[in-house]
Amino acid sequence: MNINTRSWRMQRRTFLKGLGAAVALPWLEVMSVNANDVTTAGSMAPGEVPRRAMFTYWGLGLEIRGFTPADAGRNYTLTPTLLPLAPFKDECTVMTGLKAFSGGHGSCSCLLTGTNTVRNAQTLISVDQQIAAHHGSATRFPSLVLGTVRETGFGGPFPMTLSWSRNKTPITPENRPEVLFEKLFGHEDNNTLAAAKAALAQRGSLLDSINEQATALQRRVGAADRERLDQYFTSIRDLEDRIKVEGEWIDRPKPKVARPDFGQGSPHDRIGGDGHGYSEYTRLMFDMIVLAFQTDSTRVVSHIPRTEGDEAKCYGFKTKSRWDLHTITHHNEQEDKIVFWRQLDALYLGEWAYFLGKLKGVKEGSGTLLDSTMAAWATTNGGFNAHDSTLLPLILCGGSALGLKHQGHLVQKDVQVANVWQTVVNRIGMPIPADFQGGVAKGMVKELV
């Protein structure tokens, strides 16, 4: 017997209410437009699949010769470095030979923008923020910007963020998994909601008054000062954008998720000098990202799991290397350093494999979270000594439900990383913006689509 669609189907944003609280439900089969009756429920229609993107940056790159497979194509042979990805071989494309606008230390700012570096005056919006703008307020958080340090590095020699706002300002990453959890899922009662609304209104009023004063001030100063003030006040416009989204979501309950054990200490302390805590800390951050995707709290994330800093000492307790990773990258063809470097690469890719496994373990519609998420392992440190902008590796994973067609090992000699992001943007369903990636993107990686 057919059941009327309107009475059978449940709305995506449905809440259970009781005892003075409301709890958001996860996606259920009965929420699909396919759920006309009990016999057709059970799958997401193509247009309902959330289109997600995850961008990561791994400072200092990896030992490219030990990473690169000897053969190309879908049936390529995994190198020892790539062995942790064996369970996901058919769901990843390993790309080699890529290039970026800039490479080496301090080059992470060009990874998602195409051209931003500490050496030039360009400050373009990053692709993750363009995707966030495309999704708009469809999720509580248009994007998450994460890393191992809570600073941008802006103005110094070593940037610490991948993300730049539409107003061309660097976005500060969050590095505390417990704070991220509270942001995503923290309990809110009537008192905290009232306080949040009051704070939101106060911030809005304050920004209005600042804007009025800024306009008046700009009329009183010279051209050079007006330019400096304009750069400064762009951060205010970014805050206004965030306030608008917060206002749209403030009365909607957050998903209810069990709080993990986050341990004690700062990220720096948890990682430790010899890296004992790095794996636990990194996996906690990955767990938070999976929960954010699973609850549809956001659809785009940028994350730096490893900078060129303290995390580069990791796994010394396991490899017994007397060198940190940075010293190893300057190996001068010393075989013992190269051996240690390849051991470290496999260990770090083990953390990436953990993340992919968590995504694949979450069912969504007729597939998994990995199927609807394009997750990129990337770096701007390439070449034989990991400080060049050429011979870059990139691993693009997941996204099969979004039409991504994996090719195993795909050689992309002298192709810009920006072309990979143009492919991701295409699969998101977003129009290519004018001057995308500063014009360095020359088209999609056609083999992937």
The letter for the amino acid at 125 is: I
pLDDT for 237:
63
Angle subtended at Cα 30 by Cα 28 and Cα 32, rounded to the nearest 5 degrees: 85
CA atoms within 13 A on the CB side of 381: 22
pLDDT at 357 (0 to 100): 98
Task: Please give the Cα distance from 219 to 370 (Å, whole number).
Answer: 52
Exposed (0-12), middle (13-18) or buried (19+): which is 199, by Cβ within 10 Å? exposed
Classify residue 21 as left (phi > 0), alpha (psi -120 to 50) or beta.
beta
Beta bridge partners of 392: 98
SS3 166: coil
Report residue 380 as tokens: 């701007």
Q: Residue 154: how many CB atoms within 10 A of its CB?
A: 16
Alpha-carbon gap, residue 181 to 200, rounded angstroms: 21
In the chain, the amino acid numbered 377 is W
pLDDT confidence of residue 300: 98
Q: For residue 194, what pLDDT is reported?
A: 65
In this prediction, residue 198 carries a pLDDT of 62
Single-letter residue type at 260:
P
The two structure tokens encoding residue 435: 């001057």
Q: Residue 23: its pLDDT value, please?
A: 44
Long-range contacts of 80-85 (CB under 8 A, 24+ apart): 80/342, 80/346, 81/342, 81/345, 81/346, 81/349, 82/349, 83/346, 84/346, 84/349, 84/350, 84/352, 84/353, 85/349, 85/352, 85/353, 85/356, 85/395
Residue 175 and residue 378: Cα distance in Å, rounded? Answer: 19
DSSP code for 33: T
Contact 404, 448 (CB under 8 A): yes
- Distance between CA atoms of 381 and 239, rounded to whole angstroms? 32
Phi/psi at 209 (nearest 5 deg)?
A: -70, -40
Q: Give me the torsion for CA of 327, 333, 334, 340, rounded to 10°.
A: 60
Helix (H, G, I), strand (E, B) or coil at 159: coil
What φ, ψ does residue 397 adopt, rounded to 5°?
Answer: -125, 155
Q: Are 296 and 50 spatial neighbours (Cβ–Cβ below 8 Å)?
A: yes
Domain boundaries, the chain: 51-183+271-448, 187-253
Q: What is the pLDDT of residue 2?
A: 39
CB-neighbour burial class of residue 288 (10 A; exposed 0-12, middle 13-18, buried 19+): buried
CA atoms within 13 A on the CB side of 403: 12
Give the largest CA-CA distance in the chain. 76
Report the C-alpha gap between 394 and 376 in whole angstroms.
Answer: 7
Residue range 51-183+271-448 forms a domain whose CATH class is alpha beta
Per-residue pLDDT, 153: 85
- 101, 389 Cβ separation under 8 angstroms: yes
What was the pLDDT predicted at 376? 98
DSSP string over 382-441: BTTTT-BSSSEEEEEEE-GGGT----EEEE-TT-BHHHHHHHHHHHHTPPPPTTGGGGT-
Going by the DSSP 8-state scheme, the letter that residue 447 receives in this structure is G
d(CA 343, CA 335): 13
Question: Per residue of the chain (449 residues), what is the pLDDT tens digit?
Answer: 333 444 445 565 554 443 344 444 555 555 655 545 444 445 566 677 899 999 999 999 999 999 999 999 999 999 999 999 999 999 999 999 999 999 988 899 999 999 988 776 678 999 999 999 999 989 999 999 999 999 998 777 788 999 999 888 899 999 999 999 988 887 665 665 566 556 555 555 555 666 666 677 767 777 767 666 665 566 566 656 655 666 667 667 788 888 888 888 888 888 877 788 899 999 999 999 999 999 999 999 999 999 988 788 889 888 888 899 999 999 999 999 999 999 999 999 999 999 999 999 999 988 999 999 999 999 999 998 778 999 999 999 999 999 999 999 999 999 999 999 999 999 999 999 988 999 999 999 999 99
């259920």: which residue's tokens? 28
State the Cα–Cα distance between residues 32 and 34, nearest whole angstrom.
5
